[in-house]
Structure 1
Amino acid sequence: MLEQLLIFTRGGLILWTCKELGNALKGSPIDTLIRSCLLEERSGAASYNYDAPGAAYTLKWTFHNELGLVFVAVYQRILHLLYVDDLLAMLKREFSVIYDPKRTAYDDFDETFRQLRMEAEARAEELKKSKPVAKPVNNSKKQGQVQKVGFEGGNKKKGGSGPGSDGGDGNGRKMENGHANGNTDETKVALVANGKENASSNIGAFDVNKLQKLRAKGGKKPDTVVNKGSKVDPNKKITKKNRVWDVSPTESKLDFTDPADQNGDENAVIVAADEGESMMDKEEIVSSESETEEDEEMEKDSKMETKKKGWFSAMFQSIAGKSNLEKADLEPALKALKDRLMTKNVAEEIAEKLCESVAASLEGKKLASFTRVSSTVQAAMEEALVRILTPRRSIDILRDVHAAKEQRKPYVVVFVGVNGVGKSTNLAKVAYWLLQHNVSVMMAACDTFRSGAVEQLRTHARRLQIPIFEKGYEKDPAIVAKEAIQEATRNGSDVVLVDTAGRMQDNEPLMRALSKLVNLNNPDLVLFVGEALVGNDAVDQLSKFNQKLADLSTSPNSQLIDGILLTKFDTIDDKVGAALSMVYISGAPVMFVGCGQSYTDLKKLNVKSIVKTLLK
C-alpha cells in the first residue's frame, strides 16, 4: 500500500498530494530525499531507502525535465510494490497534459489518480499471474549437453570410468598420446572454463611439463638477469671504494635538531615559529580565461554523432533544436565526460553515478537552438559539480570557536584518517592559523599507538609555543582526550586539537577505539584527513569510516565525519578528483587543503578552480 504520493516543482512548490492516502509519514523522508539525492546528484538511482526510528520507507521518483516537475511515491519497504514504476510513468504522462505553470493547486486530479492506480494494480496482478513457473532442471541432462558442446569432436566415454581405462582421462574424453582427442577451439574453451588448461599437469600454479619440455629442447629466454654462478671477467671486476670520513667533522654539518631537543635541555630559548600569513586568509585568484573551445574528446564524439545521424540531421538538430533529448543522444557526450573525470582521479563509481544523474536531469528536455548536445551535457555536469562541492552548511570555524567560547567551553576538533596521510603536520598548520586569529590552542596527544607520535606533536607544540596534553603511550586515547578537554576548560584554552593514531578502515580494534573516543568526548568537529593522491580508495576509506562510527556508536544519534582536510594537494597537478569523490561519498565539505610542508601551507578549497580543472 502506498503511504504517500506527491508532485512538486524543481523549485520546491508542492502542486498535488494524494488526499486519499492521507498517511502521516514518520520522520521526513521527502526532505531527506531532496537533500541526500536530488541536491547531491544521486537522482540517477532507481530508489532510495529511508530509515528512521519506527519507519523504513522506500522512495521512488521520476522527472519531467521539460516542465521541471518531480513525481515521488513513498511506501513501506517491506511491501515491495511492483506497480509503482508503472504508476509514476502514467502519472507523469497524464499530469503533463493538464499542467499549467500559473496554477498552484490541482484538486481535480484525485479522480484521475484513483483510476490510474487501479489500472496499475490490475496490470501488476495480470503480470504476476501470467508469469511462467520455473520448471526443475535435470542436472544430469544439462551436464551432458555442456559436455557435448564443449568437447565436440571428442569421443564419448567408453568402458571403464577410471582415469586409465580405455585411454580416457576420467571425464569421458578419449586420450591419444596423452592429449584429449579433438583438440579444437571448443575443447580449449571448455578446459579453460573448467579451470583446467592442462588436465595432466594442473597440480601447481603453472604447467610444470611445459617448463621441463622447454628445458629439454634447450630453449632459453634472453638473459636479462645475470647468473649468480657465472664467472665475472677479472678485467671488468668492480671493486668497492672505501668511504673517506672527515677527520674532524663539524657539528653544524650533521646536527639538524632543535636546541631544546638535545639532552632534554628545557632551558634553551625557542623562538616561536613565524612564517608569515597563512594561505587560509588569502583569496585565491582564478584566471578568467575564455573556455569557449571544445575539448578534443568532445569534438571527436560530436563528429562520431554526426557520422551516425548524417550531416544534415546533426546540423538541423544543433540549429533548430530538437523536441526532446533522448538517452541515446546523451550517451556519447556522457561517456566522454566519464572518461575525463576518471583521468582526473575521480573514482569510477562516482563518475558513473554523476553521469547517470546528469542523464536523468536532461532526458526529455528540449535542446536549445544553436546548441550542441555535448555543450548542453557539459553545462549540466558543471552545475552538478558546483552543487556537490559547495558546502551546504557554514564552515566558518572561527565563528563556531567564538560561539563555544561564549558558552565557556573549548571547541574540540578530532583529526582522524588512515596511516601516513599527515594528520599531525596538518594539525600543526591548523593550530598556526588559529594562533594568527588570536585563538588560544592546546594540543592533545591521543596517538598512543605509533612510536614517536607524542614526540612529533611535542616538537610542533614547542615551535608554536602552545601547551600540549600528553600521557605517553599504551594509554586509552578516549580517556586521554577527555582529560585534555577538562584541562583546557580549567586553563581557558579556546580550542583543543586532538591527534589520533592512523588506522586502516578495516582495522576493527582501532576503529572501535576511535568510535569510543568520539562517543565519549562528543567533539564539535570530526575532521577526516585524506590524501589528494587517492582515487578509488577514497570511496572505501570514507564510507567505512562513517559506517564504523555509526555501527559502533553507543548513542542513537551517532556522530559521523563532519569535514575533510585534503593533504599533499601540491603533488597532484590536475588530478583533483579525490576532492569530488570524498565530498560525494560522505556529504562532508572540504574545509582545509594542505599544499606544502610549512605552517602557512594551508588554504581553502576553491570550488570554481576544481570544477574548471575537472572539465578542461
Structure 2
Amino acid sequence: MLEQLLIFTRGGLILWTCRELGNALKGSPIDALIRSCLLEERSADAAYQYDALGASYTLKWTFHNELGLVFVAVYQRMLHLLYVDELLAMVKREFVEIYNPKRMIYTDFDDTFRQLLKESEARAEEMKKVKQIEVPIKRQGQNVSQKAGTMGKGGKSSSRSQSKNGADDEDGRISSIKPLSNGNANGESKKHENGDVEKTTETAFDVNKLQKLRSKAGKKNETSKAPKEEQGKKKLKKNRVWDDKPQEVKLDFTDPVKEKGEENVAALGDQGKSMMDKDEYESSESEIEEEEDAKGRTDSAPKKKGWFSSIFQSVSGNSILERSDLEPALKALKDRLMTKNVAEEIAEKLCESVAASLEGKKLGSFTRVSSTVQTAMEEALLRILTPQRSVDILRDVHAAKEQGKPYVIVFVGVNGVGKSTNLAKVAYWLLHHDLSVMMAACDTFRSGAVEQLRTHARRLQIPIFEKGYEKDPAMVAKEAIQEANRNKVDVVLVDTAGRMQDNEPLMRALSKLINVNTPNLVLFVGEALVGNDAVDQLTKFDQKLADLSTSSNARLIDGILLTKFDTIDDKVGAALSMVYISGSPVMFVGCGQSYTDLKKLNVKSIVKTLLK
C-alpha cells in the first residue's frame, strides 16, 4: 500500500499531500531524499532507500522542470508496488493542468488522485493475473515440445518421425526440414515457387574456412615483407657529443644530519607558511593565462570555438528540450569527464541527473543546447564538490580544548599512499596555528613505520607516543590519548597501518581502533593518481567499517585527503569520483614533498578543469 504522495516546489513549498494514505511516516524520509539525492545530484537514480527509526521506506520521484515541481511517492520497502511509476506520471499530467503559481492549496485534487490511484491499482491487478496465466501456458508448451521430441526419437509414434529430412503434410508437400548433422555435410535443399522442396547433393561452401585462409595468407605476406623493409632501411649512427665540463648537479637534497647533542633539529621557520593558510580560490596559472589571452584579444580577432560549440548548432524559438535533443551533448560531456579520470559509472549518473533536470524546460532564443547542458553540469559539479556540512578543524580543536579533551584525528588508507608524510604536513599546519600536537605510532605492522614517524616528530620537534611493533593498535591509540590528556596536548594524530580494502584481519583491527577510541575525525588518505581504483577503495573501507562496527551508529569516513595531486596534470576526476561516491568532502590536498605542500581543494578550478 502507498504510504504517502507529496507535491512540492523546488524551493521546498508543499503544495499538496494525500492525507488518506495510511499512518504518518516514521522519521524524515522526504528530508533525507532532498539531502542525499536532489542536492547531491543523484536525481537520476531509480529509487531511494530510507532506513531509520525502525522504518524502511522506498521513495520514487519525478520532476516537472518547467514549473519546478517535484512529485514523490513513499511506500514500504517490503512491498513491491508495480504501479508507482505510472501513478506518478498520471498525477504529474493531471496536476500540471490545474497548477497556478499563485495558488497554495489544492484540496480539489483529492478526488482526482483517488480516481487515479484506483485505476493504477486495478491495472496492476490485471497485469498480475495475466502473468499468472502466462506462466502455466509456457510450462505446458515446454512439456508438449519435450514430448514431441521424445516421440520423434522413437521413430514409431508419428508418420513425421519416419523421414529423416522432413515430414509429409496433408497435401503431400514436405513441411519441415531438419538441419544437417555433422556426419551429413553434403545435403542441400532448394525450394521451388510451388512450395515443393528438392534435395540436392551439392557440397555447401564453408565461409569460415575462406576467412581463415585469407587471414593466414595476410600474415605470411606481412612476415615476408617485414625483413625486406628492414633490409632497405639503413641504420645511421648518431654522433656522440663529448662534454668535458663536469655537471654541477646537487643530487642529495636532504638536510645534513646533526649530532644528537645539538638542539633545534629543524626550525619551523625554515619551511615557511603552509599552503593551507592561503586563499582557497586563488587563481591558478591556467586561469591567469586565460585572463591575459582575453585581455589581449581584440574585437576583430575571431574567438576560438570550444569543443561544445564545434559540435552542436544553436536552437532558438523557445523550443522545449527533449531527451533526444540532450543526448548528443550529454554523450560528448560524458566522454570529456571520462578523459579527466572520472569513473564511467559516475560520469553516466551525472549526465543522467543533468538530463532529468533539463528535460521539459524551454530553451531561450539564440541559446545553444550545448551551453545549456554545460551550465547545468557546472552547477551540478559545484554542488557536489562544495561540502554540504561545515568542517572547520581549527574551530573544532578549540571547542575540544575548552572541554579539556584532545582532538583526535585518525589517518586510514591503503598501502603506500603517503599517510605518514601527510600526517606530518597536517602537524606542521597545526603547529603554525599555535596548537600543541602529538603523534601516535599505531602502525605496529609495517617494518620501519615507527622509525619513519619518529623522524618526522624529531624534525617538527613534537612528542611521539610509541610502543613498538606487534602490539594492539587500538590499545596503543587509547594510551596515547590518555597521555595527551594528562599533558594537555591539543591534537593527537594517529597513524595507522596501510591495508588493502579486502584484508579482513587488518580491517577488523582498524574498526576496533575507531570503535574503542571514538576519534573526532577519520580521514581517508587516497592517491589522486589511481583514479577509479580510489572509488573502490573508499567504498569498501566505508562498507567494512559499517559491517564490522559493534555499535548501532557505525563510524564511517568523515573526510578525504588526496595525495600526489601535483602529478596528475588535468586528470582531476578522482576528486569528483570520491566525493560523489562517499559524500565526504576533500579536506586536504597534498601537492609536494615538503611540509608546506598541503592546501585546500580549489573547487572552482577543479570544475573548470573538468569541463574545459
TM-score relative to the length of structure 1: 0.79
CA distances 1:16-45 after superposition (whole Å, capped 9, x unpaired): 111111522222211111111111111001
Number of the residue aligned with 2:316: 319
Aligned positions, number: 526
1:371 aligns with 2:381: no
% identity of equivalent residues: 74
Give me the whole-angstrom Cα distance separating, in 2, the residues matched to 1:350 and 1:557. 27
SS in 1 for 2:341: coil
SS in 1 for 2:115: helix
Q: Which amino acid aligns with 2:51?
A: D
Which of 563, 574, 592 is matched with 1:578 structurally?
Answer: 574
Are the counterparts in 2 of residues 259 and 268 from structure 1 also a CA contact under 8 Å?
Answer: no
Give me the whole-angstrom Cα distance separating, in 2, the residues matched to 1:467 and 1:142. 84
Number of the residue aligned with 1:184: 206
Q: Which amino acid aligns with 1:422?
A: G
Number of the residue aligned with 1:518: 514
Are the counterparts in 2 of residues 416 and 502 from structure 1 also a CA contact under 8 Å?
Answer: yes
TM-score relative to the length of structure 2: 0.80
Shift of 1:504: 1.1
Are the counterparts in 2 of residues 327 and 363 from structure 1 also a CA contact under 8 Å?
Answer: yes
User: Are the structure 2 counterparts of residues 187 and 221 from structure 1 closer, same or farther at C-alpha, using a change threshold of 3 Å?
Assistant: closer
1:474 aligns with 2:474: no
SS in 2 for 1:437: coil
Number of the residue aligned with 2:159: none
Number of the residue aligned with 1:83: 83
Give me the whole-angstrom Cα distance separating, in 2, the residues matched to 1:427 and 1:595. 13
Q: Which amino acid aligns with 1:297?
A: W
User: Are the structure 2 counterparts of residues 464 and 184 from structure 1 closer, same or farther at C-alpha, using a change threshold of 3 Å?
Assistant: same
Are the counterparts in 2 of residues 532 and 569 from structure 1 also a CA contact under 8 Å?
Answer: yes
CA distances 1:418-475 after superposition (whole Å, capped 9, x unpaired): 1111111111111000000001000001111111111111000000000000111111
> Unpaired segments of 5 or more residues in structure 1?
160-165, 168-180, 190-196, 198-209, 224-251, 304-314
CA distances 1:116-173 after superposition (whole Å, capped 9, x unpaired): 10111112222223346141345799999xxx9xxx99841559xxxxxx99xxxxxx
Q: Which deviates more, 129-138 or 333-342?
A: 129-138
Give me the whole-angstrom Cα distance separating, in 2, the residues matched to 1:556 and 1:85. 34
1:414 aligns with 2:439: no
CA distances 1:459-505 after superposition (whole Å, capped 9, x unpaired): 00000000000111111111111111111100000000011111111
Number of the residue aligned with 1:36: 36
Number of the residue aligned with 1:270: 265
Number of the residue aligned with 2:552: 556
1:333 aligns with 2:329: yes
Number of the residue aligned with 1:62: 62
User: Are the structure 2 counterparts of residues 182 and 254 from structure 1 closer, same or farther at C-alpha, using a change threshold of 3 Å?
Assistant: same
Map of 1:147-296 to 2, 5 A cutoff?
155-156=180-181, 184-185=206-207, 259=257, 265=260, 270-274=265-269, 275-283=271-279, 284-286=281-283, 287=287, 289=290, 296=306
1:301 aligns with 2:311: yes
Q: Which amino acid aligns with 2:18?
A: C
User: Are the structure 2 counterparts of residues 297 and 254 from structure 1 closer, same or farther at C-alpha, using a change threshold of 3 Å?
Assistant: closer
Are the counterparts in 1 of residues 264 and 461 from structure 2 also a CA contact under 8 Å?
Answer: no
Give me the whole-angstrom Cα distance separating, in 2, the residues matched to 1:514 and 1:531. 20
SS in 2 for 1:62: strand
SS in 1 for 2:308: helix
Are the counterparts in 2 of residues 19 and 110 from structure 1 also a CA contact under 8 Å?
Answer: no
Number of the residue aligned with 1:130: 130
Q: Which amino acid aligns with 2:394?
A: L
Shift of 1:103: 1.7
Shift of 1:509: 1.1
Give me the whole-angstrom Cα distance separating, in 2, the residues matched to 1:609 and 1:157. 66
Shift of 1:542: 1.0
Q: Which amino acid aligns with 1:2?
A: L
User: Are the structure 2 counterparts of residues 220 and 505 from structure 1 closer, same or farther at C-alpha, using a change threshold of 3 Å?
Assistant: farther
Number of the residue aligned with 2:583: 587
Shift of 1:108: 2.0
Q: Which deviates more, 581-590 or 50-59?
A: 50-59
Are the counterparts in 2 of residues 154 and 182 from structure 1 also a CA contact under 8 Å?
Answer: no
User: Are the structure 2 counterparts of residues 295 and 46 from structure 1 closer, same or farther at C-alpha, using a change threshold of 3 Å?
Assistant: farther
Give me the whole-angstrom Cα distance separating, in 2, the residues matched to 1:280 and 1:253. 29
User: Are the structure 2 counterparts of residues 515 and 258 from structure 1 closer, same or farther at C-alpha, using a change threshold of 3 Å?
Assistant: farther
Give me the whole-angstrom Cα distance separating, in 1, the residues matched to 2:475 and 2:406. 17
Number of the residue aligned with 1:162: none
SS in 2 for 1:96: helix
Are the counterparts in 1 of residues 316 and 363 from structure 2 also a CA contact under 8 Å?
Answer: no
User: Are the structure 2 counterparts of residues 103 and 469 from structure 1 closer, same or farther at C-alpha, using a change threshold of 3 Å?
Assistant: same
> Unpaired segments of 5 or more residues in structure 2?
153-164, 166-176, 187-202, 228-249, 295-301
